[in-house]
Structure 1
Amino acid sequence: MISTAQEGPGSVRREVLTPSQRTKLNPQDDRYWYDKPRLVHHSDAIFRSQVTQLYRERIPAGGTVLDLCSSWVSHLPPDVEYAKIMGHGLNAVELGENKRLSQFFIRNLNKQPNEWALESDSFDAVLICCSVQYFQQPERVFSEIFRVLKPGGVCLVTFTHNLFYEKAVAAWRDGSMYSRTQLVKQYFLAVDGFTEPEALTSVSGRASLSPFEAAATVVQKFFKTGSSVADPFHAVVSYKLKRN
């Protein structure tokens, strides 16, 4: 049970998930699941290019970035410089391979969802790419995201239909892409002080893949998986309200 005794910006207004919705088919501690490094992409190039474009549009150049549940790649625009990129994850080998990270830390957010050793109001952007489906205590994680964001800072949650099925929480496993989007919106709304979440299924700016590269990606995917359908792009975006 989440305590709601604390009130005001950053406090948890309500629980989104029931106890049964937080369960996983594989209850093994996540640190063991991620013990072996996976230096592979978990989504196709078309999806990743849209993530990169979203980051280009929403993260200020020269800003400070926290990449939660990061890996060996962060999908940030390669031509944009940032003051600091802090990484987080469960595998030091993967994070050590990520050349965009200034530094990183290891933490199991399902065991220790809050009280991160990070200063309040210190990041312009927090990123969660293809990992929100594994959060068992999302309300407390999003409360902590609020704490570390600067006023006016943005949290960008991106996801597609790919996942480690046995490690996703029941609320995500049992849902459609629409219901999953609504779930992420509720995570934001459960914390006092975030703006109304914005759901996106595409980005408006220039694509980082040419039509030829996009077509080649589809062909490669067909020969690899038997499917020519690109991974669908979904994002939910919210900002930390500025203080009056």
Structure 2
Amino acid sequence: MDPNHALPANIFRRQDETPDAEFYHHPRFVTHIDDAAIAAVTQLYREYFAPDTAILDLMSSWVSHLPADVAYRRVVGLGMNAAELAANPRLESYVVQDLNQQPSLPFQDDEFDGAAICVSIDYLTQPVAVLRELARVLRPEAPLVITFSNRCFPSKAIAAWHHLDDRGHLALVQQYLVAAGGWQAIELLDRSPRPPGRSDPLYAVVARVASR
């Protein structure tokens, strides 16, 4: 069965369909949202990720935006660039993997207590398959925090992302979770810094793994 069966395939097309490994070959030691939006991400992590737990930072890079004053038992990163992941001080370990080529996660069932996808969900061409895998590797009731703004690498974002506004992006990510199954208590949040217009907006979709 096609894991994206509920969504038309053409919405996942991209302007640049060359292998993602080529695009991410060179490290980019930059942040993709401004400081105020980063602070909003960190606040979400503070609210949803309990101290002394195991966290999976999916589509990670050289910074995780986790609260500096909170100690986690374990933080594992999965991303596209080894140099960026190696430079991330919060990661205990990391995996280099292209989720668009291989959406299966190299982790055990119920291995993590929470997971984050920060400003990257718009690049996934098999998001339903990835979210199904996340539901497997997270324990029941564990939170997933997906954040995004209005910035992206245009050539690598899927077609649907370009055609939707912020409200549409929230609805699309919710649809991914519903199609994947195994998720409950889905929240659509606008955590944009106030007053609006002075910094990057910040939106989040938060869900918890359903009981099994």
- Tell me the CA shift for residue 97 of structure 1: 0.5
Per the alignment, residue 111 of structure 1 pairs with 101
> Hey, which bits of structure 1, 4+ residues long, moved more than 3 A?
none
Q: Max radius of gyration: which structure?
A: 1
- Tell me the CA shift for residue 181 of structure 1: 0.6
Per the alignment, residue 79 of structure 2 pairs with 89
> In the alignment, which of 22, 25, 33 is matched to residue 35 of structure 1?
25
> In the alignment, which of 141, 152, 158 is matched to residue 152 of structure 1?
141
Say whether residues 1:233 and 2:202 are aligned partners. Answer: yes
AA aligned to 1:66 is L
What stretches of structure 2 of length at least 5 have no aligned partner? none
TM normalised by structure 2 equals 0.95
> In the alignment, which of 165, 185, 188 is matched to residue 199 of structure 1?
188
Per the alignment, residue 178 of structure 2 pairs with 189
Query: Residues 191 and 201 of structure 2 are in contact (CA less than 8 Å); yes or no, is this contact kept in structure 1?
Result: no
- Tell me the CA shift for residue 19 of structure 1: 1.6
- Tell me the CA shift for residue 15 of structure 1: 2.6
AA aligned to 2:130 is V
Per the alignment, residue 130 of structure 1 pairs with 119
CA distance in 2 between partners of 1:202 and 1:24 (Å): 28
Per the alignment, residue 223 of structure 1 pairs with none
- Tell me the CA shift for residue 233 of structure 1: 1.0
Counting aligned pairs with the same residue, the percent is 38
AA aligned to 1:238 is A
1:43 match: secondary structure: coil
CA distance in 2 between partners of 1:78 and 1:229 (Å): 25
CA distance in 1 between partners of 2:25 and 2:7 (Å): 27
Per the alignment, residue 75 of structure 1 pairs with 65
2:184 match: secondary structure: coil
Per the alignment, residue 165 of structure 1 pairs with 154
- CA RMSD, 1 decimal: 1.8
Query: Residues 132 and 182 of structure 2 are in contact (CA less than 8 Å); yes or no, is this contact kept in structure 1?
Result: no
Per the alignment, residue 22 of structure 1 pairs with 12
Query: Residues 11 and 159 of structure 2 are in contact (CA less than 8 Å); yes or no, is this contact kept in structure 1?
Result: yes
- CA shift digits 1:36-88 (9 cap, x unpaired): 10001110001000000000000010000000010100000000011110001
AA aligned to 2:202 is F
CA distance in 1 between partners of 2:19 and 2:6 (Å): 22
CA distance in 2 between partners of 1:146 and 1:156 (Å): 12
What stretches of structure 1 of length at least 5 have no aligned partner? 3-11, 208-213, 219-227
Size of the aligned set, in residue pairs, is 212
TM normalised by structure 1 equals 0.83
